Structure 1
Amino acid sequence: MSSSACASPGTPAARSKADIDSVWERLAHAQVLRRRALGVLGALTVLALPWVGSAWPEAGWVNQSLEWAGLILMALALLGRCACMLYLGGRKGADLVAEGPYSVCRNPLYVFSILAVLGIGLQTGSLTVGLVLALAAWAVFRWIVGEEERMLRASFGAPFEDYCARVPRFLPRPSAWRSPRHVTVDLQGVWNTVRDALPYFLSIPVFEAIEAFQEAGWLHVRLWLY
């Protein structure tokens, strides 16, 4: 889960334990579907992009600017996801985390994932490709967030309702930032986040190779997009 953590056995619940267990089972199934949906999205992207090209000249400043912007977004996504893990600090599954990135946005991990997908798409030199991929990722995350919030509402009740009233679901509100002076860091969790995010940057050589094959005539572009 990317949003706030879930309830421990001693946490007051808005529903019975049986109801919470049922919501947990539904969420677990939904998370499996989320991973499959993202996998399908990735597979379709890999299959489609060799036949899609940027309408901007490869050596032009627009194409190059988009690729650099994509690289910056991927780096920002990596750093942002690490910051989220710093504040989770092993509390995921025990507390309602509402500090640091979670004080300005209820689902910062998903927000940074969407930025990463946008950055990956921009490596094609096409703003349209980047926006389409980011929108598809947002649709998947928006659905799973609804399932997560069902569980959080069942686990935390009124405190979670108050959190939802104060903090936006996706669009960050920087003025709401709050943080303790000290946080407990789960180094293994941070490392796992870095490891999982590193494949973002594989899009750079992959799309450069696709562009090289297109220019060499080995792949024939069927759709040019700005």
Structure 2
Amino acid sequence: MTSTAYSSSAAAAPHSGTGIGPAWERLAHAQVLRRRALGVLGALALLALPWIGSAWPEAGWVNQGLEWAGLMLMALALLGRCACMLYLGGRKGADLVAEGPYSVCRNPLYVFSILAVLGIGLQTGSMTVGLVLALAAWAVFRWIVGEEERMLRISFGTPFDAYQARVPRFLPRLAGWRSPQHVTVDLAGVWKTVRDALPYFLSIPVFEAIEAAQDAGWLHVRLWLY
């Protein structure tokens, strides 16, 4: 799913204009590359993390605090992505979505995904691992956002330029929050968002199993990180 502030129907039927076809094809190809890049990063992380350990004592308050902070970040990401779908999924027609989470940040879905990746990394008990994974995800999302914004500019023109000038790309500006009194909710879209986000929490048993294997001597830590 793209993160930018337009509805899925807008992607299918954008405002007419020269260059819209090639721009849409370019964005579709870029989204494929985005998914592949995230898949490669995930695979590399799974290969590397069994040999990385937290320099904080496993039973210490810092290690445990990082793991709990990671859990809260994943829960926040799940709730945040659902909130985005409340405003995004029920739109019909070629709409530029600029309310709710999209009124404080142009790419809230990606922001919440980055928070989820940070939370997953913190399940290792290492702040360094969490930050490295989050920065890697941010780099991929930063690239794809540029491609999405090209499409939005062609689709919506001046209204998107005004939206871009008013709302930050990633770092939320909470003072800009605005929302209609009622929104049309796409329940199927919200449920799909929940299903897509639930695998975040698989990181908890996975990293607990890695820690158990390291403690048992089945895996030998090569790098200790704070």
TM-score using structure 2 length: 0.96
State, as a whole percentage, how many aligned pairs show the same letter: 84
How far apart are the structure 2 equivalents of 1:141 and 1:37? Answer: 10
Structure 1 residue 133 and structure 2 residue 133: aligned? yes
Q: Which runs of 5+ in 2 are unaligned?
A: none
Alignment of 1:1-226 (within 5 A): 1-5=2-6, 6=10, 9=13, 11=15, 15-16=17-18, 19-91=19-91, 94-226=94-226
Per-residue deviation, 1:94: 2.0
1:86 and 1:186 in contact (8 A); partners too: yes
SS in structure 2 of the partner of residue 204 of structure 1: helix
How far apart are the structure 2 equivalents of 1:10 and 1:160? Answer: 13
1:4 and 1:107 in contact (8 A); partners too: yes
Q: Which runs of 5+ in 1 are unaligned?
A: none
Per-residue deviation, 1:7: 6.0
Query: Judging changes above 3 Å, is the alpha-carbon distance between structure 1 residues 202 and 168 closer, same or farther for their aligned structure 2 residues?
Result: same
TM-score using structure 1 length: 0.96
Aligned partner letter, 1:3: T
Query: Judging changes above 3 Å, is the alpha-carbon distance between structure 1 residues 51 and 9 closer, same or farther for their aligned structure 2 residues?
Result: closer
SS in structure 1 of the partner of residue 224 of structure 2: strand
CA RMSD across the alignment: 1.3
SS in structure 2 of the partner of residue 53 of structure 1: strand
Aligned partner letter, 2:162: D
1:7 and 1:96 in contact (8 A); partners too: no
Per-residue deviation, 1:46: 0.4
Q: How many residues align?
A: 222
Per-residue deviation, 1:91: 2.0
